[in-house]
Amino acid sequence: MFRRGRSLTISNLEYLAQFDDADDALAAAATIGTPPAILPRLRTDADGRVIGVILPGDADYVR
C-alpha cells in the first residue's frame, strides 16, 4: 500500500478510493489481518534539529 516518497495519508486514501462505501472498506479490512507497523524516525542534523522523517527502507533507517 505505501509507496516510497508518498504521504501515508495519501497512500491510505488511494487505497480506500477503490471501495464504494465504508461497509465495503471495512469488509476488505477484516480480511487483511494485522497490518505491519510503520515506525518512522526523526532525521536530525548535527545540532539535533529535526530536518525530516526516516521510514523503513530508507538507507539511514535503524531499527
- Angle CA 21–25–29, to nearest 5: 170
Q: Is the confidence at residue 6, as pLDDT, over 80?
A: no
> Each residue of 7-59: pLDDT tens digit?
778 888 988 999 999 999 999 989 988 877 888 999 999 999 999 999 888 88
pLDDT (0 to 100) of residue 22: 96
The model carries a pTM of 0.48
Backbone φ and ψ of 46, nearest 5°: -60, -25
pLDDT (0 to 100) of residue 35: 78
Rounded CA gap, 48 and 43, in Å? 9
Per the structure block, which three cell numbers stand in for 30? Answer: 477484516
